[in-house]
C-alpha cells in the first residue's frame, strides 16, 4: 500500500489504526509505503487521504496480484469494502 500523509494519520484496516509507513522520498510530495499480512476473508480499509492498495498472493503453485483500490484525485471514494 502507498498513501499520503493523511493516509498515514487516518488509515485503518478493519477499523483499527494500523497503517505504519516508510517514507518514499522520490516524489515532490511525501508518500509512505506499508505492508501487512491479512487472514483470508473480507477486509476493510478506510482513510481520509489518497492511497493505492496492491494485493498479492499464491495458490496451487501460481501467484497473483491486482489493485483493488486506487483512491486518488480522480476517485472520490474514501472507503473500500
pLDDT digits (tens, 9 = 90+) for 22-56: 898 776 778 888 888 888 888 888 889 888 888 88
Q: Domains in the chain: how many in total? A: 1
Q: Which of the two residues, 71 and 68, has the higher pLDDT score?
A: 68
Q: Is the pTM of this model over 0.85?
A: no
Instruction: Give the pLDDT confidence score for residue 79 in this predicted structure.
Output: 46
Instruction: Give the pLDDT confidence score for residue 58 in this predicted structure.
Output: 85
Which residues touch 42 (CB under 8 Å, ≥6 apart)?
81
Amino acid at each position: 500500500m502507498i498513501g499520503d500523509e493523511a493516509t498515514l494519520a487516518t488509515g485503518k484496516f478493519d477499523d483499527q489504526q494500523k497503517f505504519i509507513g516508510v517514507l518514499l522520498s522520490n516524489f515532490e510530495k511525501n508518500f509512505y509505503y506499508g505492508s501487512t499480512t491479512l487472514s483470508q476473508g473480507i477486509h476493510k480499509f478506510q482513510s481520509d487521504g489518497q492511497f493505492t492498495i496492491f494485493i498479492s498472493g499464491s495458490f496451487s503453485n501460481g501467484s497473483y496480484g491486482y489493485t483493488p483500490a486506487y483512491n486518488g484525485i480522480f476517485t472520490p471514494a474514501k472507503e473500500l469494502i
